[in-house]
Homo-oligomer: A and B are copies of this chain.
Amino acid sequence: MIKVGIIGYGYWGPNLVRNFVNNKKCQLVCICDLDKKKLKKASKLYPNILATNNYKDIINNNKIDAVVIATPVDTHFKLALSALKSKKHVLVEKPITSSSSQAKILIEEAERQGLTLMVDHTFIYTGAVRKINELVNMKNFGDIKYYDSTRINLGLFQHDVNVLWDLAVHDLSIMSYIIKKKPIAVSANGHSRVSDEPEYAAFLSVYFDDIIAHINVNWLSPVKIRKTLVCGSKKMIVYDDLESIEKVKVYNKGIKVEKSEKEIYKTLISYRTGNMWSPKLSEIEALTIEIDHFINCILKKKKPLSSAEDGLEIVKILELANKSLRQKGKPQYLL
């Protein structure tokens, strides 16, 4: 029975707590938050779980095997490092850290200690994204051509990070999970309302060898859109996360290219249209699957699907995207 402590009972914390409580392979023993009101709420709902406003009560508790960190990004590094140093497995909210150098230090520490270090890229555990991954890997999908995602709504302005670090991180984790290749370069454009404020809107392109990904994120949109296109040479997928049932649609559509040396280019390409289908998706909550996966990785010493290395990859992209953003789209290369 893995004993777990959670640091951070804010927006996402209650979901984590509820899912750890319901997982039978582990026991949630302590919740920590600086806000005493939130702690009271937690205590009322879970009278048998310790509540503390000092995270060291978790770090120093020898009975605790694993720590979940659901605090603001700029505290991830410090909390995760001290947990790892106290020989505890760690699940940390996305993005894993504020910088790639921090992520590297955590990865080294976890390796040295033989501990599981996992990042909470929730989306890759949803029924929709798992199904898309399955489809994309089938032969009849062909090669991925592009990934194009729009994730916009009237969102809370963050004072410390821009919209890329808040919203694009979701798409980057999905993109990374599906595409399974190393990106080569990024280019980002964006806008702030006033010059020293974080960007509320950003448009990020990620170049791969023969694929392009484009991500449109915005905190200042009158309508909510969560729409992703994944286009293959033989099939195309539309993933609309706001649809209640038919979130994923697969189109047997595209273009046919026939080679010919003499004919001019235009005449050789023709449309191909066919059926559309919408596969049934698993309805199990993503977090339930993810937490079970975290516990299993600890028990079986497996690499998590959303490993710290995946988290590092995404932080690297975000760092370069920020650089590009300040230079109006100037491309930045990943080594």
Given A150-B150, A218-B148; A266-B191 close (CB under 8 Å): no
**Interchain CB contact under 8 A, B212 and A190:** yes
| A273 at interface, CB cutoff 8 A | yes
Instruction: State A41–B218 Cα separation when bound (angstroms).
Output: 41
Contacts of A328 in B (CB 8 A): 185, 187, 205, 207, 331
Instruction: State A221–B236 Cα separation when bound (angstroms).
Output: 8
Chain A interface mostly:
strand
| A280 at interface, CB cutoff 8 A | yes
Closest 8 CB pairs of A and B: A187-B329, A159-B265, A189-B205, A277-B277, A222-B251, A222-B236, A328-B331, A329-B329
Of residues 239 to 282 in A, which have CB atoms within 8 Å of B's CB atoms? 244-246, 249, 251-255, 264-266, 269, 271, 273-280
Instruction: State A38–B244 Cα separation when bound (angstroms).
Output: 28
| A203 at interface, CB cutoff 8 A | yes
Contacts of A45 in B (CB 8 A): 45
**A203's contact among B193, B203, B253, B264, by CB below 8 Å, is which?**
B203
Given A223-B238, A253-B154, A276-B278; A187-B190 close (CB under 8 Å): no
| A15 at interface, CB cutoff 8 A | no
Instruction: State A150–B231 Cα separation when bound (angstroms).
Output: 16
Chain B residue with Cβ nearest A271 = B154
Instruction: State A246–B223 Cα separation when bound (angstroms).
Output: 10
Instruction: State A265–B160 Cα separation when bound (angstroms).
Output: 9
Instruction: State A157–B267 Cα separation when bound (angstroms).
Output: 9
**Interchain CB contact under 8 A, A191 and B146:** yes
5 contacts between A and B (CB under 8 A): A146-B218, A159-B264, A189-B205, A220-B255, A223-B251
| A330 at interface, CB cutoff 8 A | yes
Instruction: State A253–B223 Cα separation when bound (angstroms).
Output: 10
Of residues 163 to 215 in A, which have CB atoms within 8 Å of B's CB atoms? 185, 187-191, 193, 201, 203, 205, 207, 211-212, 214
Q: How far is the CB of A21 from chain B (nearest CB, A)?
A: 10
Contacts of A271 in B (CB 8 A): 154
Q: How far is the CB of A109 from chain B (nearest CB, A)?
A: 31
| A101 at interface, CB cutoff 8 A | no
Contacts of A274 in B (CB 8 A): 280
**Interchain CB contact under 8 A, B277 and A276:** yes
Contacts of A278 in B (CB 8 A): 275-278
- Apart from A146-B201, A146-B218, A223-B238: 5 A-B pairs, beta carbons within 8 A: A157-B265, A216-B216, A222-B276, A274-B280, A327-B331
